[in-house]
Structures are given as structure tokens and as C-alpha cells.
Structure 1
Amino acid sequence: MKKYLSLLLLLSFATFSQSKEALQTATKKLYDANFLMDFEVIKQLTYPKVYEAMGETAFLEQLENDFQNSEYRMRYQVENVPFIFSEIKIIDGKTFCVVRFRNPKRYLFENKLNAAQIATKKTWLQAKENTQNVTFEAARNSFTVRSASRYVAIFDLETVGEWKFFNIDDAFQLATFRALFDESIGNKIGI
């Protein structure tokens, strides 16, 4: 009996370790895809229900518009960041983990901003990025935004044995998460 119990514990630990290692790898891959603006990889790592309703093409177009449009270009500034992983929790047969990291971004505006526009854009970025740490750089006609970002990683039947993510910084993805999962799940994982 002790041998059976020891084997079961060893297998559980090995499975958990592989799952955590896979989570770390997938998180890095998602961040790198955002840094490199590889929208197809971002889509592949996004929880499928996020883009099913709008369609894959519309999702990819929205991603591209978020990073670059006729008004501004947004870029991640740091290639490698340390990730902080919450405890992995199994709730209702689904596995969740919240990933936090510091994520400095630069918003470069295409047209020269005047004082009123600078104030308006700063307020908009503070709300959009959920931070007060927004600095205008006149020489670059850009804002540097320093904020903390969050992904919710999920491993369930929808993800076909892989970790997939919600980018909780994105209002649409946060709303989709809240529509798909009970409020108690969000509370249990700290969202």
C-alpha cells in the first residue's frame, strides 16, 4: 500500500511539475509574441472563447489595431520580464493560474500633440492601462506607460491539453472572462 501511495504522489508531482513548466513556457511565448507583434501566435495562445464570437480574422484585426493604427503605435519596451505566478488552482475541473509582470509600454503618436491633446491622452492612457505612471516625452511625441499586467492562464477541455490565456489588461478579454466564468472563480483566483 505504501508503494502504491508513494507512486501516486510521485506521478502527481511529476504531472504538476510538467504542467507548471508548460505554463512558464507558454507565458514566455505569449509575452514574446506581444513584444514581436506576432498576432497569429497571440491568437493561438489566447483562450478560444475570446475570439470565437467575433471570428479569428476580426480578432487578429483588433490585435493589430491595438498595436498600431492611424493615431498611434504601441510597443512593449522590455524584451524579457520576470513573471510572478500565483498558486495553480483547480476549480470546477478547470485549472487556473494568474501571471503578473511589470510591462512598460511606449505609445508613439503619429501627429504632433498639443498641450490639450497631451493632457487628454495622458488621462486616457492612465485609465486604459490602469496606472498613474504615464510620462510624455516631447522629443518622441510619445508616452511611456509603466504598469503591472496580468494574464489568467487556463488549462481545461477547451484548451485541448495546453495552457491558454486571457489578457486581463484588455477590457474585452476581461469582460469575456467574466461572462464565461462564475464570479466566485474570479474571486478565488484574485481577478
Structure 2
Amino acid sequence: MKLKNLSFLLFFITFNCFSQSIETLKTSAQKLYEANFLMDFEAIANLSYPPMVTNIGKEILLEKTELHYENEAYRLRYQLQSVPLQYAPIKKINEKSFCIITIRIPKRYFFEAKLTSEQAAEKKVWLQEVNSTKDVTFEPNRNSFNVKKMSTYLAVFDETTDGKWKFFNFDNPEQLTAFQSIFDENVKTALGLNK
């Protein structure tokens, strides 16, 4: 009887911890998406994976993230404040937990200088390449492009994250490069991210 009760208690504790982990993951991932929507660069840095922030440098990360959204050529905006996030199963690798999150994000690139039809055609090809999507539409009246793409966040929970889920946003080239340099091939292979 005691063994049965002990088994039930162990199952309950494991299930409760796993449920809390999933819920905290979902809450944190939603906060990261919203920080990107609001262009809250400080919140983005705070939700980012700490070793990546250290490697890049927080000030450089903030600067590069801001340039990703606003620069002399264009302004980038997420079009929807809330979108469904798709969560892969959490994987435990070398005492670290990982979860790949995919999101279909509609974005808009507003170009500062009026684009000619030739420039618009060039920018369309460029946006298709950098966003890995063919779904790019130019809107001449707004001098902007509507881009629909699949984006990937990688959530990590380990000894460096202070008991919280922290993230990489693979839309950001610096963060993707940092992920490639921080984690070894075993992790990349196990997650299916060894490109």
C-alpha cells in the first residue's frame, strides 16, 4: 500500500513540475514575442540566453537588435500583437532542457526612401532571402513590404538561466551565430538544428 501511495506521489510531483515547466515556458515565450512586437529591447535582452548575452555583450546585443528593427534603410514591425506559438516537446540534453518554438509571424518592412519599381523588385528578392520565405508582397502606396514567415525561438533552461526559460531568436543573425558557437554538434543534432 505504501509503495502504491509513494508511486502516486512521485507521479504527481513529476507531473506537477512538468506542468509548471510547460506553463512557465509558454508565459516566457509569449513575453519574448510581445517584447519583439513592442520593440522593448531591454526586455528582449533580459529574456535572452545569458551566455549569449555575455558573449555578444549586452550593449552590443541591444544595439544590434535595435538596428534589426530600425535603421537608415527601413523600419521593421510585427503586425500582430498576439499569434499562436507552436511548442515542440521539451528535450533534456546534457542536464539542459530545450524547446523549439515556431511562430508564423506577419512582418512589415517600411522603407524610408521611396522605392522605384526596380528597387522594389531587388528588395523583394532580398527580403525573400533574409526571411527564408516566398511570401513577400510589395505595397507601393505604403512603400512597404508585407512578409509572412515561420520564425524559430529556442528556449533553454539550465544552470545559467536562474531557474527561468531563456531564449535565442533565430531571426536575429547574431543570436543564431551565438547558438552555433555555444552549443556542440550533439545538441544541434539532437534538436535537428545542425545546419
Deviates more, 1:5-14 or 1:22-31: 5-14
Contact 2:52 2:182 in 1 (8 A): no
Please tell me whether residue 159 in structure 1 is matched to residue 155 in structure 2.
no
Q: Distance in 1 between matches of 2:55 and 2:34?
A: 26
Moved over 6 A (4+): none
Give the match for residue 120 of structure 1. 122
Q: Decide which of 152, 156, 181 is 1:179's aligned counterpart.
A: 181
Deviation at 1:62, TM superposition (A): 1.0
| Distance across 1 between alignment mates of 2:56 and 2:29 | 24
**Aligned positions, number:** 191
Whichever residue aligns with residue 28 of structure 2, its letter is: A
In the TM superposition, residue 105 of structure 1 has moved relative to its aligned partner by 0.3
Mapping for residues 73-112 of structure 1, pairs under 5 Å:
73-112=75-114
Q: Name the residue aligned to 2:30.
A: 28
In structure 2, C-alpha distance between the alignment counterparts of 1:141 and 1:26, rounded to whole Å = 34
Cα deviation 1:66-123 (Å, max 9, x = unaligned): 1111111000001110011000111110000001110010000000011221122111
Q: Deviations over 1:122-153 (max 9, x none)?
A: 11111111111111100000011000111000
Identical counterparts, % of pairs = 47
1:132 matched residue in structure 2 = 134
Q: Please report the TM-score for the alignment, with normalisation by the length of structure 2.
A: 0.94
Which moved further from structure 2: 52-61 or 148-157?
52-61
Mapped to 1, the partners of 2:189 and 2:106 lie a distance apart of: 27
Cα distance in 1 between the residues matched to 2:74 and 2:187: 36
* C-alpha distance in 1 between matches for 2:56 and 2:158: 22
Structure 1: distance between partners of 2:174 and 2:165: 20
Please report how far the alpha carbon of residue 10 of structure 1 lies from its aligned counterpart in structure 2 after TM superposition: 0.8
List gaps (5 residues or longer) in structure 1: none
Tell me by how many angstroms 1:21 deviates: 0.2
Alpha-carbon deviation of 1:176? 1.2
Name the counterpart of 1:11: 13
